[in-house]
């Protein structure tokens, strides 16, 4: 009975959060004041996500980190925790502050998408909710990725100010979680250097090879030279810690079947990913898209190739998922430009559009099949 109540409570609160994001986005897309509307998304996200209890493998670990400064080398994260301690914040309440910073920075990032906020707001929630709840410190660091990306691509500041702010967000980001440096460097590369969409003639075959061939290779010892290179730097960094354990992370022993997809689900996953690759590229070409949309599209490609190629290796799976987290931008843009896309779309392409519904699957599974991860603070404190 208690378990049923907990599940119903979990589903209702998360669907309420989705509804709030949709209504806030709808109001903004109709011309409503951005921050007067966005504050409701911030408040509901902070309360619902921040109130979670024992959700994810790292929840209890980060209470210990907070109490004992266990990851002091991540100096910005440790400093923020010291500020919370100075405010007498107890361990179980730190997640309110992490959630608040994350969603507030995401709202800054979403400002340029006001015209279709009714689409991009709920999709952004679907793309980031599990990430914020399960990858606690990396998601907290990703707050600075949001600010860095907004400043680099959209902020109307003078060149010197823009450069200083980007540098500041970069430093803060890696001071919270050094693993985010890969995401930052890819954003810089695709926005400043490689300013065209990766062509379909490469992306679709590469996806199929990654998902159906590379993912079935059990022993990835051939990655050792790359990891040795990464390990040549600061031995205290998180990257070097991963690199120094490459033989454990990438050997056949690290192969974890819990990430293996059911064959039928994998077919739909493949069709869903290829649909986003195809229509995302078609959208970019038709509207002669700005560099920012090409950047998010290319980030999605790199991330999904990494994740699907190494689905059963947790560290690379997670890294790929983090890189592709901006998938909601090209998908929202496809929905926004659907009339233009459909104008020269044949019957088979129209049918293929249906597979974009795949992108609801991860969120639906997280909400409706959460296993035992359904508790909130009040369940524990009562």
Q: What rounded mean pLDDT belongs to the chain?
A: 88
303 or 222: which leads in pLDDT: 303
**What predicted TM-score, i.e. pTM, was given to this entire model?**
0.91
Terminal CA-CA length for the chain: 16
Helices (H), 57-180: 59-68, 75-86, 94-110, 117-134, 136-153, 159-176
- Between 27-41, 60-74, 145-159, 216-230, the lowest mean confidence (pLDDT) is in 216-230
Whether the per-residue pLDDT at 351 is higher than 50: the answer is: yes
Whether the per-residue pLDDT at 341 is higher than 80: the answer is: no
Give me the residue spans of the domains in the chain. Answer: 1-186+370-382
Cα-based torsion angle of the residue sequence 201, 202, 205, 207 in order, rounded to the nearest 10 degrees:
-130
Whether the per-residue pLDDT at 249 is higher than 80: the answer is: no
Q: What is the mean pLDDT of residues 270-295?
A: 95
- Between 144-153, 262-271, 334-343, the lowest mean confidence (pLDDT) is in 334-343
Cα-based torsion angle of the residue sequence 371, 376, 379, 382 in order, rounded to the nearest 10 degrees:
160
**Residue 345: CA atoms inside 13 Å, Cβ hemisphere, count?**
19
Whether the per-residue pLDDT at 75 is higher than 80: the answer is: yes
Q: What is the mean pLDDT of residues 6-11?
A: 93
**Quick one: pLDDT band at residue 55, thresholds 50, 70, 90?**
confident
Whether the per-residue pLDDT at 312 is higher than 70: the answer is: yes
Quote the pLDDT of residue 340: 74
Q: Write the Ramachandran bin of 375: left for phi over 0, alpha for psi from -120 to 50, otherwise beta.
A: beta
Selection from 8-22, 223-237, 357-371 with the highest mean pLDDT = 8-22
CB within 8 A of 362, min separation 6: which ones? 126, 130
Whether the per-residue pLDDT at 138 is higher than 50: the answer is: yes
Whether the per-residue pLDDT at 26 is higher than 80: the answer is: yes
Decide: 94 and 63 in contact? Cβ < 8 Å.
yes
CB within 8 A of 105, min separation 6: which ones? 143, 144, 146, 147
**Quick one: pLDDT band at residue 226, thresholds 50, 70, 90?**
low
Whether the per-residue pLDDT at 267 is higher than 50: the answer is: yes
C-alpha 333, offset from chain centre: 17
Token pair recorded at residue 164: 């200083």
Quote the pLDDT of residue 230: 47
Quote the pLDDT of residue 218: 59
What 3-state DSSP class applies to 52? strand
**Quick one: pLDDT band at residue 232, thresholds 50, 70, 90?**
very low
The pLDDT tens digits of the residues spanning 126-136 come to: 999 999 999 99
Quote the pLDDT of residue 236: 46
**Quick one: pLDDT band at residue 258, thresholds 50, 70, 90?**
low
């Amino acid at each position: 009975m208690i378990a049923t109540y907990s599940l119903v409570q979990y589903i209702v609160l998360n669907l309420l959060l989705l509804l709030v994001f949709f209504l806030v986005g709808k109001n903004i897309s109709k011309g409503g004041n951005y921050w007067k509307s966005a504050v409701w998304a911030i408040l509901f996200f902070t309360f619902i996500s921040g109130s979670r209890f024992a959700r994810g493998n790292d929840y209890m670990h980060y209470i210990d980190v907070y109490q004992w400064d266990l990851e002091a080398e991540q100096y910005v994260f440790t400093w923020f925790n010291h500020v919370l301690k100075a405010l007498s914040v107890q361990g179980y309440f730190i997640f309110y502050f992490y959630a608040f910073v994350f969603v507030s920075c995401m709202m800054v990032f979403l400002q340029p998408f006001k015209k279709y906020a009714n689409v991009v707001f709920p999709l952004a929630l679907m793309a980031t909710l599990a990430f914020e709840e399960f990858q606690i410190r990396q998601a907290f660091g990703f707050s600075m990725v949001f600010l860095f990306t907004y400043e680099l691509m959209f902020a109307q500041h003078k060149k010197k100010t823009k450069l200083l702010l980007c540098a500041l967000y970069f430093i803060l980001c890696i001071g919270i979680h050094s693993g985010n440096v890969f995401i930052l460097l890819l954003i810089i590369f695709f926005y400043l250097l490689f300013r065209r969409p990766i062509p379909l003639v490469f992306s679709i075959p590469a996806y199929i090879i990654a998902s159906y061939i590379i993912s079935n290779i059990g022993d990835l010892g051939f990655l050792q030279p790359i990891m040795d290179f990464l390990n040549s730097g600061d031995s205290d960094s998180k990257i070097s810690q991963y690199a120094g354990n490459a033989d454990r992370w990438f050997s056949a022993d690290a192969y974890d079947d819990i990430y293996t997809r059911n064959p039928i689900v994998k077919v739909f996953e493949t069709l869903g990913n290829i649909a986003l690759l195809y229509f995302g590229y078609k959208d970019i070409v038709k509207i002669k898209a700005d560099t920012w949309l090409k950047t998010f599209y290319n980030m999605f490609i790199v991330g999904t190739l990494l994740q699907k190629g190494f689905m059963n290796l947790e560290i690379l799976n997670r890294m790929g998922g983090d890189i592709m987290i901006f998938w909601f931008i090209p998908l929202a843009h496809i929905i926004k430009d659907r009339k233009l896309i459909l104008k020269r779309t044949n019957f088979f392409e129209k049918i293929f559009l249906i597979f974009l519904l795949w992108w609801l699957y991860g969120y639906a599974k997280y909400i409706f099949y959460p296993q035992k991860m359904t508790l909130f603070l009040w369940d524990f404190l009562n």
